């Protein structure tokens, strides 16, 4: 057994990756996807396997306790989200693995982009008609756009009740509420709902 991430041939192509777009757009898309899959190695299921893919409790006690505490916060946070279209609360237990992977994937993609920007000879250009946004803000907007969608109420209800992924709105806002860099980039005030506490 071994651990691996498999990337289908269609992923490193437009719209997820293109040599013709600024790097923040690529990192916001494919960086998020790769980071998401890496983070599954540490979610409620992946954390049960060692580096060789064997079922094993390999965590140090302190690390495991911290992980369980953070995971409980994420479960509680997502369980408190209420969808306005269906009037249902999300099931943070059912979606915990994907929520952890979404949050971790976004952080990995963003941090990789930040490291890469130090190697650039000059700042990357903005996007047409979006000049008012910084590159960090554009990274976050592009990430959010990946999960943007509209669903019929019956489909949304089924997804909330049985799905392992949170609905799109909460995949976006849940991640960004757990990302202080979002609050900084968009200058959210201390009482703003999007400012993590």
Residues identified as active-site: 37, 102
Element (H, E) at 77: helix 61-79
Largest CA distance in the chain: 52
Q: Assign 15 to helix, strand or coil.
A: coil
Partner residues linked to 55 by β-bridges: 49
Residue 179, C-beta contacts closer than 8 angstroms, at least 6 positions apart: 103, 106, 107, 110, 196
């Amino acid at each position: 057994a071994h651990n691996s991430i498999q990337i289908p041939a269609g992923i490193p192509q437009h719209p997820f990756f293109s040599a013709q777009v600024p790097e923040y757009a690529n990192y916001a898309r494919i960086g998020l996807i790769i980071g998401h899959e890496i983070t599954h190695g540490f979610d409620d299921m992946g954390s049960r396997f060692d580096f060789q893919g064997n079922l094993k409790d390999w965590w140090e006690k302190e690390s495991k306790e911290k992980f369980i505490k953070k995971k409980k916060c994420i479960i509680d946070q997502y369980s408190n989200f209420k969808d306005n279209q269906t009037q249902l609360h999300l099931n943070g237990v059912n979606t915990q693995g994907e929520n952890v992977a979404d949050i971790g994937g976004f952080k990995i993609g963003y941090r990789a982009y930040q490291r890469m920007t130090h190697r650039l000879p000059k700042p990357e250009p903005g996007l047409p008609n979006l000049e008012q946004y910084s590159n960090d803000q554009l990274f976050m907007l592009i990430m959010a756009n990946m999960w943007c969608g509209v669903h019929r109420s019956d489909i949304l209800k089924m997804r909330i009740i049985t799905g392992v992924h949170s609905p799109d709105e909460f995949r976006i806002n849940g991640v960004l509420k757990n990302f202080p860099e979002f609050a900084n980039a968009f200058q959210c005030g201390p009482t703003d709902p999007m400012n993590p506490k």
